[in-house]
Amino acid sequence: MKFKSDFSSRFRILKGGKISLMVSALLGSVTLSVASPTAGVVTSGTANISQSGNTTNINQSSNKATINWQDFSIKSNETVNFNQPNKNSITLNRVVGNEKSVIDGALNANGQVWILNSNGVLFNKTAKVNTAGIVATTKELSDADFNAGNYNFKGDSKASVINLGTIEVSNSGYVVLASNEVKNQGTIKAVKGKVYLSGADKYSLNLNGNSLVSLSVKKGVLDALVENSGTVIANGGEIYLSTNAVNELLKGVVNNTGILEANSLDGVTGKVELFAHGGEVQVGGTIKAKDGFVETSGKKFSIDKNTNIKAKTWLIDPTNLTVNDATAYETALGNGTDTLIKTDNA
């Protein structure tokens, strides 16, 4: 605790020489220094929460557990450890307070960690996440659906999920960042795994152990934004930047100016997909899928002339396509990439 140095109203001398502490004056000058996250209540499964100094440990004995937190944030000098039965275990962390989750410190788990916060989630530049899988979303999922394996997320939150830090998952793990607005300016690594940056109101996950089979957008959102200006690496795996469901004509934007890398590895074909059905795909930066597949699909399509694409096959799938400057396409073809263009009118 830290106290201000104003003693004038702190004590009152009573008859008999007794001293009374002026509680109201004291409370206004106290700064509490406590570890985050705070006020966790286990609502299903079996887990124990303990805090010592700047370290919070969640020891989970059941394969699944859900915890309601008043606040789930981690300061730069703090560490949160999830000790779970195995890599297939999941801890769902639901924020019931009114504050955004701000991750500045370390988040470690031998299993999977889900953070649900309708106020938004921010991984700052100093954030370091190491898990077997992670979901950060502004959408909702009930305990009943979670425990039944019905991973159908929904909600009307307009808050964002942003990564400026470093997120890394173990082999075959997954990273899901999902909200109306998703931005990655940091580094995400998922070797032989899958990375989804998705703008959606409703979506569902299909899991197999700690591997994500698929993420399906059930309902998009008008003017959704998915943006990567950082680095996403999933060699031997798949990377998806997507907005909107396949039957929606919304104005979502998928934009890449950073690095997306999913090279084929150990006989597994790498894949990078930028998909904005009914919206716009803005292609820039570097996209690598050596011996793999790249798809860029949307109602509208634009490409920066400095874009660097390396793949076995690159599929361009807009409603129609006008080539004003062939430089970017020539660069891709010069790298030995087969480029397929598919439009509604062929």
Give the pLDDT mean for 182-204: 96
| C-alpha span between 225 and 222 (Å, rounded) | 9
Q: What is the mean pLDDT of the chain?
A: 87
Domain boundaries, the chain: 1-33, 37-341
Smallest Cα–Cα separation from 332: which of 346, 316, 311, 304? 311
- What fold does the segment set 37-341 form as a domain? Pectate Lyase C-like (2.160.20)
Sign of the CA dihedral running 274, 234, 238, 220: negative
- Find how far residue 243's CA is from the centre of its chain: 15
Give the pLDDT mean for 225-248: 93
User: In the prediction, which pLDDT does 244 show?
Assistant: 83
Angle at 104 between CA 238 and CA 199, to 5 degrees: 40
* Cβ 122 vs Cβ 148: under 8 Å: no
User: In the prediction, which pLDDT does 20 show?
Assistant: 37
User: In the prediction, which pLDDT does 340 show?
Assistant: 82
Greater model confidence, 8 or 239: 239
Question: How confident is the model over 8-20, as pLDDT tens digits?
Answer: 333 344 444 443 3
* Cβ 314 vs Cβ 332: under 8 Å: yes
The model's pTM is 0.87
CA distances (Å), origin 185, targets 116, 167, 188: 21, 11, 9
Question: How confident is the model over 14-64, as pLDDT tens digits?
Answer: 444 443 333 333 333 333 344 489 999 999 999 999 999 999 999 999 999
Question: How confident is the model over 294-324, as pLDDT tens digits?
Answer: 999 988 889 998 899 999 999 988 877 777 7
- Find how far residue 339's CA is from the centre of its chain: 31
Question: How confident is the model over 207-221, as pLDDT tens digits?
Answer: 998 889 999 988 888
Question: How confident is the model over 153-185, as pLDDT tens digits?
Answer: 999 999 999 999 999 999 999 999 999 999 999
DSSP assignment letter at 15: G
Please count the other Cβ atoms lying within 10 Å of the Cβ belonging to residue 164: 18
CA distances (Å), origin 33, targets 25, 30, 79, 104: 19, 10, 15, 16
User: In the prediction, which pLDDT does 345 show?
Assistant: 58
Question: How confident is the model over 57-82, as pLDDT tens digits?
Answer: 999 999 999 999 999 999 999 999 99
User: In the prediction, which pLDDT does 24 show?
Assistant: 33
User: In the prediction, which pLDDT does 318 show?
Assistant: 82
User: In the prediction, which pLDDT does 145 show?
Assistant: 97
Q: What tokens does 268 get?
A: 């597994």
User: In the prediction, which pLDDT does 28 show?
Assistant: 34
- pLDDT-based confidence at 271, cuts 50/70/90? very high
